């Protein structure tokens, strides 16, 4: 089991992200991408330096949400092309 103290940075980052205000689909998607990268960097790791399962599961869930947001953005873009297209 990982050291509970190693979760402190993780929990601070999760709380920071949850507290941010929405700025729209594109900025929120970019913020989520940055959040995922930061979590990958700071997540608690096991003795072999791999992310512990709870952290890995959360990162995978967030990556799925990120891909869903990108897909939604692309669908909206395809349905409403800009005049310059």
**What per-residue confidence (pLDDT) applies to 5?**
64
pLDDT at 1 over 70: no
What gap in Å lies between CA 19 and CA 69, rounded to an integer?
19
Percent of the chain with pLDDT over 90: 71
pLDDT interval class at 3 (50, 70, 90): low
* Residue ranges covered by each domain of the chain: 27-76
* Nearest in space to 58 (alpha carbons), one of 41, 68, 43, 69: 43
What gap in Å lies between CA 21 and CA 10, rounded to an integer?
19
H or E segment at 10? helix 8-19
State the average pLDDT for the chain. 90
Residue 85 CA to chain centroid, in angstroms? 31
| 57-85 mean pLDDT | 88
């Amino acid at each position: 089991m990982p050291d509970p103290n190693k979760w402190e940075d993780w929990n601070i980052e999760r709380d920071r992200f949850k507290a941010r205000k929405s700025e729209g689909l594109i900025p929120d998607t970019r913020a989520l991408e940055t959040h995922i990268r930061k979590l990958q960097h700071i997540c608690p790791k096991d003795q072999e330096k791999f992310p512990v399962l709870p952290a890995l599961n959360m990162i995978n869930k967030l990556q799925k949400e990120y891909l869903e947001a990108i897909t939604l953005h692309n669908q909206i873009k395809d349905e409403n092309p800009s005049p310059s297209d």
